[in-house]
Chains A and B, each alone.
Chain A
Amino acid sequence: MLIPRVPSTFVPSIVMPAFLTVAMAGAFSGLVLLPGFPAAKALDWFIPMTTVQGAAFAGITTGMGVARDLESGFYDRLLLSPTSRSALLAGPLVASVLRAVIPLVLLVLIAVVSGATFAGGAAATLATLSIASFGMALVAGAWSLGLALRFKTQQAAPLMQSGVFLVVFLSTAQMPIDYLTGWLHAVARVNPMTNVLGLAREGFLGAVTWDGTWPGLVSLAGLSIATIAFAGRAMTKVVP
């Protein structure tokens, strides 16, 4: 319900990815001239990243909503009610994934209107992009929920956003792994987000194959397990 009632918590997750798509695809359009660059258009390279980022920020609004409820005291009533803790954990996480539908649809529309290349076929491209987006919404939702339950204040919002921002940008968000230099190349190689973005981009850059898909799925599974465990541990400790 936070979407229509507190738009300030959700609008940035729609507006910012749309703006970043325009800004990055426009400003860095010359990158495709680099020898061996994997995309024909900068839009094909950047729009999967901004879509996944938008989904992640949509997931974060879940944690912000829980933090708001903790501050207002409403969450205390939930904790005192005969509701299982697993339901209190699962509910916001499902909401995180559902919220990601909005930026996903918006950015796919932008991709279609702007002439993005669905090189792997429309269905396969949308499937891999959706899996990556919903997966990252779940991961970001669990991360933000864990922080909300620990800090019990909306002032934790910058920490929620910074965590997602760093994980995304310390990967191949801006450039392919072979073009990264120095410390960023080393970090991006071990950052699971590189594989998640590989999954999201797969259909925009070529055919969708199992070899290009499974690393992203494994990375999403690992990130999901880690962040859900982080949120679950906080849920077991939170008291009214």
Chain B
Amino acid sequence: MTGVAQYAALSRRAILNTFRQPTAIVPALMFPLLFLAMSSAAFERSIALLGFPQVDSFLQFVIAATIVQGALFGAVAAGADMATDIEGGFFERLIASPVARSSILAGRVMGAATLGFFQALLYFGITIVFGLDVAGGVAAMFLVALTAGVLAAGIGSITVAFALRTGSTEAVQGSFPLVFVILFISSAFFPRELMGGWFKGAATLNPISHMIEGLRFLVIEGLSASKFLTAFGISAAVLVVGLALAGGALSGRLGSRA
């Protein structure tokens, strides 16, 4: 089997694995939508506040955050799947086979990226039915989905690294609250202009705020190269860090076996 075929086969396995586990995928898909439905109905009147961006609806303001939320939640599943492979012994069989070590990581990361990308398009499809207007059109939706896919790959890499270090599904799922914290201490659900005190400072320091604000601009105002590159650059940076961590963790696990 060639190197490319190895990458393709393990990526395909991870993607199918992701989509065949309704217990893992449905909460990651449905919870952000449920939260979106509730927050849109709850905070609709807040868009009249002075300092709130000019939007048609709270739905238009918050859809970018919902997409990022879905990508983050779904990415945790990549790490959990890797831990399951370790616990179940499949990882040992992969290591014993003549596959490239990097393809083991690539498979899981591709699974997370694919879920993040298509989940974003699904969210757009559903919310457009409920009246969402995307100022940047189809191109903006594609760019937002692309960024979400890269972010999902990045967070997926970090959770895969955690799985390789601990070898425990429970420990990986225990990292979920960290994702929750990163998202909530940001401008994901309310504009920074209307925050105050230390929370505003923390949200400003959080790169997730700047990523979501970049994506939000594409939805509210229209296409902008600088806003997209800011959002995409942050996602890509997360991916680079995640891959470095996952690579180190894989080396560590292989080294401990030697």
Q: Which residues of A come within 8 Å of B, CB atoms? A: 8, 12, 15-16, 19, 22-23, 26-31, 33-34, 158, 169-170, 174-175, 179-185
Beyond the given pairs A26-B195, A27-B189, 10 more chain A to chain B contacts, judged by CB atoms under 8 angstroms and listed by A's residue number, are A26-B197, A27-B190, A27-B199, A28-B43, A29-B199, A31-B49, A33-B194, A174-B38, A180-B41, A182-B41
> In the complex, which of the residues B41, B195, B203 has the most CB atoms of chain A within 10 Å of its own CB atom?
B41
Q: Which residues of B, 171-189, contact A by the 8 Å Cβ criterion?
A: 174, 177, 180-181, 184-185, 187, 189
Q: Which residues of B, 19-66, contact A by the 8 Å Cβ criterion?
A: 27, 37-39, 41-46, 48-51
Q: Pick the contact of B46 from A8, A34, A169 — CB < 8 Å?
A: A34
Which of chain B's residues have a CB closer than 8 A to the CB of A26?
A: 185, 195, 197-200, 202-203
Beta-carbon contact of B46 and A31 below 8 Å: yes
Binary flags per residue of B151-192, CB closer than 8 Å to A gives 1, else 0: 000000000000000000000001001001100110101110
CA distance A33 to B71 in the complex (A): 32
Chain B interface, number of residues (Cβ within 8 angstroms): 34
Q: Which residues of B come within 8 Å of A, CB atoms? A: 27, 37-39, 41-46, 48-51, 174, 177, 180-181, 184-185, 187, 189-191, 193-200, 202-203
Which of chain B's residues have a CB closer than 8 A to the CB of A34?
A: 45-46, 48-49
CA distance A22 to B202 in the complex (A): 12
CA distance A182 to B41 in the complex (A): 6
Chain B: CB-nearest residue to A158: B27
Which of chain B's residues have a CB closer than 8 A to the CB of A30?
A: 46, 49, 51, 190-191, 193-196
Beta-carbon contact of A181 and B194 below 8 Å: no
**13 interchain pairs, CB-CB under 8 A:** A26-B200, A26-B202, A27-B185, A27-B195, A27-B199, A27-B203, A31-B46, A34-B48, A175-B43, A179-B42, A179-B46, A183-B41, A184-B41
Q: Pick the contact of A23 from B41, B46, B174, B184 — CB < 8 Å?
A: B184
Beta-carbon contact of B44 and A181 below 8 Å: yes
Beta-carbon contact of B196 and A29 below 8 Å: yes
Beta-carbon contact of A23 and B194 below 8 Å: no
Beta-carbon contact of B46 and A29 below 8 Å: no
CA distance A158 to B31 in the complex (A): 12
Which of chain A's residues have a CB closer than 8 A to the CB of B46?
A: 30-31, 34, 175, 179
Which of chain B's residues have a CB closer than 8 A to the CB of A185?
A: 41
Which of chain A's residues have a CB closer than 8 A to the CB of B193?
A: 30
Q: Pick the contact of A181 from B41, B174, B189, B199 — CB < 8 Å?
A: B41
Q: Which 10 A-B pairs have the closest CB atoms?
A: A30-B194, A26-B199, A184-B41, A23-B184, A174-B42, A181-B44, A175-B42, A27-B190, A182-B41, A179-B45
